[in-house]
Structure formats: C-alpha cells, structure tokens
Amino acid sequence: MTMTVTQGIITIVCVVLGTMVTRFLPFLIFPEGKEPPEFIRHLGNVLPYAVIGLLVVYCLKDVPGSGTYGLPEAIAILFIVFLHKWKKNTLLSIGGGTVLYMLLVQMVF
C-alpha cells in the first residue's frame, strides 16, 4: 500500500516538527548564561562514551567468534585504539580503522 499525497505531507511535517523540537528545545530550556543542572552536565560528560560503546557493540553483534571470523574486526579495533592513543584524532582513528578493515576483508580474509 502506498501513501496518499496528504499522508506524505503529514508525515514530512511530523518529521520536521520532531526534528526541530529536539534541536531547539535544549536552547530554550538552557539559554546562554544560565548554568545547567549538575545532572545535565554529568550526562554531557558520560553519554558520548556510552554512545560509542553502544555503537561498537551494535557493529559487532553479528560477528561470529569461531575460526578466522571476527579477526579482521579485532585487528581493526586494536588499530583504532592504538591510532587514537597515538595521534588523539578521532577522524583519523575512525578513517584509518575503516581503511584497514576494508583492506583486511577484501585482500587478506
């Protein structure tokens, strides 16, 4: 079943409003110059690490752990950690790990 034009417009409007609310609401609740509560500052410190951990788990959820399966992923993860500790550049770490992983999958394993 396909959407009618009206349903499509309503869907787009809902998505736009939802996106705008999530983008602008923090600036309305915590205007510049007003100190956010300690709990919000704590979340700002810990959530980025939690999200990265969640993404790593999600990316590895379907990797079988037997044989050589999972080896390219493990090598790439170790390389990413090493590169990030060495250069302290997130973009370089992610890009370098992605390139290494693709090389391993396409040429080695």
Percent of the chain with pLDDT over 90: 59
Name the maximum alpha-carbon separation found in the chain: 56
Q: Does some domain include residue 3?
A: no
Domain count, the chain: 1
pTM over 0.75: no
- pLDDT confidence of residue 69: 78
Cα angle for residues 68, 73, 79 (degrees, 5° grid): 120
Going by C-alpha positions, the residue among 93, 66, 68 that lies closest to residue 78 is: 93
d(Cα 78, Cα 84) in Å, to the nearest integer? 10
Q: Does some domain include residue 79?
A: yes
Q: Does some domain include residue 29?
A: no
Q: What is the pLDDT of residues 15-56, one digit of tens each?
A: 999 999 999 998 999 888 888 899 999 999 999 999 989 988
Range of 107's domain?
65-109
70: left (phi over 0), alpha (psi -120 to 50) or beta: left
